[in-house]
């Protein structure tokens, strides 16, 4: 059997047969143990590349099974498509052909058109399931959201977890609704014109229910990660490891119609092979992309600050379509919240935000105190639609002692500034769930492991992680159910008072982004950020004859700006000091029209946008 056609797990075919496969090159014997609805043990056949196979015609979807390496204990299938009883129970056969898709007309959309919305399935709704998200899609659409980024859903231990402790990369979390629930959600999204990006983890496997070493040398001691054993992508017996993980994107794209994957911490994927693991993945994905005739995206979370990550493979790069731009968040956040300097000691100047707009990476070869070394390389030549920006995400919120959102850290005027800075930028924007209406719920780190020693280790680990922030108290117990429930969104707030104002503010910004021609250009020549004095920043967006002047004031003092001469008269299209965007009286708005060469006073903590059209 060729590598490209390799089967992983239990693959149920339309002809009613099911082929079981497991890679265990150092094992001499493998038993397939069917446990429900009827019990049977069947010996599997091993090929020359270390895979054991067995094809059966008398099993049906829903049949539960284990593998028995060397005929010993029952172990779940590493490539299980469903774990109905959790990480220690049997795997279950899934008939992926049985689901009736209704998204035939869906052909995806350009990544640069995405308005992304990161969400955690368990805390996005009270029910915490895929299907409970579906009734909320219309609300998100009304806000202008057209793409979901779903935090990891691969099976983890228990029912409460961020998802980065997954131990079955091919199985969809049972407590969220399993594979059927995820398909229903994606199907509903596509019918409404919403793309779906799924967060996946290929740099480590979670601690509880991790059966990998029972089968093969999936891990290596050559490298280290902060979260668990490094995966063996380049050592002895790594062929099967590479095959297993590079098949995972194909699985999500093919069986679940996912539009893109967000790859967690790619800097912790170590590989010295002639063909890097990421190159292998991209090659397989591009082949599938041609077959399905729709775009399939790979978005990186990278700590390298290297332009190579988003440079095509043919030009010497790693080949990702986009990557998260953490530097933009850091530069913006420290300007909004002076306390942020303690977390991001290398940030704090207006010039850094200017650089983030104009070039992307702020740290591009300079000495960085946090890292105690020179760090990064210039991304000035990288198209801006290769970067994804945010004012908060699960990490920036959850990795705080009290898990405060930006809405709990800064005032309303600064929140409006943050939203405008992101949504008027030349980058792909991503909101964190609830951000659009300034939800004030924390987003704590939470777990529901079974092992008491592991639970205690997590508790102690969190305390050590926040030792430098002891003045803020101790983090809440990650295992406590109250910690999880406190992290759920307060949806009933979104149409009330200041929350409704913030929601409408986001709607207005997104509408401008999607409709004004100057905000639709991603050419570097069509935008320029310029610091104004010590207090302000001008973001000039243009396309052909259309111009937008976005004037920001991050200070509590006014400043003056002489309007540019790209036109004879400028018309105001957005003003954070208009009555409709303010929750206190006498907002002191900016003038409606301004002539070229005329001086305009920019109010403290405000943003005003003028156009020549």
Q: How far apart are CA 113 and CA 110, in angstroms?
A: 5
> Is 456 an active-site residue?
no
> Is 208 an active-site residue?
no
Cβ pair 53, 42 in contact under 8 A: no
C-alpha distances (whole Å) from 38 to each of 18, 58, 64, 65, 68 are 16, 11, 9, 10, 17
Q: DSSP string spanning 423-465?
A: HTSSSEEEEETTGGGT-----------S-HHHHHHHHHHHHHH
Cα 184 to its chain centre, rounded Å, is 20
Handedness of CA 240, 246, 250, 252 (dihedral sign): positive
Q: How far apart are CA 603 and CA 581, in angstroms?
A: 14
Helix %, strand %, coil % of the chain (to 5): 30, 25, 45
Residue whose token pair is 């067995």: 54
Give the CB-side neighbour count of residue 487, counting CA atoms within 13 A. 30
Q: Among 77, 165, 259, 301, which one carries the catalytic annotation? A: 301
Of the candidates 167, 200, 368, 168, which has an alpha carbon nearest to the alpha carbon of residue 269?
200
Q: Among 199, 234, 259, 264, which one carries the catalytic annotation? A: 264
Q: How far apart are CA 416 and CA 391, in angstroms?
A: 11
Q: How far apart are CA 142 and CA 498, in angstroms?
A: 18
Q: How many residues does the chain have?
A: 613
Quick one: three-class SS letters along 202-260? CCCCCCCCCCHHHCCCCEEEEEECCCCEEECCCCCCHHHHHHHHHHHHHHHHHHHCCCE
| CA distance from start to end of the chain | 62
Phi, psi of 99 (to 5 degrees): -70, 135
**Residues annotated catalytic, as ranges:** 264, 301
């Amino acid at each position: 059997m060729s590598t490209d056609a390799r089967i992983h797990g239990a693959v149920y075919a339309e002809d009613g047969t099911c082929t079981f496969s497991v890679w265990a090159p150092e094992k001499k014997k493998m038993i397939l143990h069917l446990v429900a609805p009827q019990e049977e043990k069947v010996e599997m056949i091993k090929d020359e590349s270390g895979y054991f196979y067995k094809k059966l015609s008398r099993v049906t979807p829903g049949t539960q099974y284990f593998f028995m390496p060397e005929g010993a204990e029952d172990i779940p299938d590493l490539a299980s498509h469903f774990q109905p009883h959790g990480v220690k129970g049997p795997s279950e056969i899934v008939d992926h052909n049985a689901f009736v898709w209704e998204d035939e007309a869906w052909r995806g959309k350009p990544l640069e058109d995405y308005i992304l919305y990161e969400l955690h399935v368990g805390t996005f709704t009270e029910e915490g399931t895929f299907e409970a998200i579906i009734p909320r899609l219309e609300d998100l659409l009304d806000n202008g959201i057209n793409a979901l980024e779903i935090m990891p859903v691969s099976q983890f231990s228990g029912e409460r977890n961020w998802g980065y402790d997954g131990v079955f990369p091919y199985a969809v979390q049972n407590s969220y609704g399993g594979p059927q629930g995820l398909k229903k959600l994606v199907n509903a999204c596509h019918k409404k014109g919403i793309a779906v990006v799924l967060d996946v983890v290929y740099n480590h496997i979670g601690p509880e229910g991790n059966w990998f070493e029972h089968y093969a040398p999936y891990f290596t001691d050559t490298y280290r990660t902060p979260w668990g054993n490094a995966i063996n992508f380049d050592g002895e017996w790594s062929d099967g490891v590479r095959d297993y993980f590079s098949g995972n994107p194909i699985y999500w794209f093919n069986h679940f119609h996912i539009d893109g994957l967000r790859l967690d911490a790619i800097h912790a994927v170590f590989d010295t092979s002639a063909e890097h693991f990421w190159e292998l993945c991209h090659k397989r994905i591009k082949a599938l992309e041609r077959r399905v005739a729709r775009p399939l995206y790979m978005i990186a979370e990278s700590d390298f600050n290297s332009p190579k990550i988003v440079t095509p493979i043919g030009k010497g790069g790693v080949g990702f379509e986009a990557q998260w731009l953490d530097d933009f968040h850091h530069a913006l956040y420290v300007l909004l919240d002076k306390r942020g300097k303690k977390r991001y000691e290398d940030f704090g100047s207006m010039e850094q935000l200017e650089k983030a707009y104009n070039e992307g990476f702020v740290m591009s070869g300079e000495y960085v105190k946090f890292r105690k070394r020179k760090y990064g390389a210039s991304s000035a030549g990288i198209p801006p639609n290769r970067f994804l920006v945010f004012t908060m995400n699960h990490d920036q919120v959850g990795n705080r002692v009290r898990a405060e959102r930006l809405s709990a850290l800064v005032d309303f005027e600064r929140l409006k500034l943050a939203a405008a800075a992101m949504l008027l930028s030349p980058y792909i924007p991503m909101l964190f769930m609830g951000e659009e209406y300034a939800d004030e719920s924390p987003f704590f780190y939470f777990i529901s492991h079974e092992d008491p020693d592991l639970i205690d280790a997590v508790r102690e680990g969190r305390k050590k992680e926040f030792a430098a922030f002891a003045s803020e108290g101790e983090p809440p117990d990650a295992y406590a159910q109250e910690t999880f429930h406190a992290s759920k969104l307060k949806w009933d707030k979104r149409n009330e008072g200041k929350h409704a104002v913030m929601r409408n503010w986001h709607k207005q910004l997104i509408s401008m982004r999607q409709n004004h021609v100057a905000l639709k250009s991603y050419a570097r020549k069509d935008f320029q950020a310029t610091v104004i004095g010590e207090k302000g920043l001008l973001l000039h967006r243009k396309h052909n004859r259309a111009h937008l002047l976005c004037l920001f004031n991050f200070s509590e003092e006014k400043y003056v700006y002489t309007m540019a001469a790209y036109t004879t008269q400028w018309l105001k299209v957005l003003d954070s000091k208009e009555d409709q965007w303010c929750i206190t009286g006498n907002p002191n708005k900016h003038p409606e029209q301004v002539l070229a060469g005329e001086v305009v006073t920019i109010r403290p903590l405000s943003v005003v946008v003028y156009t020549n059209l």
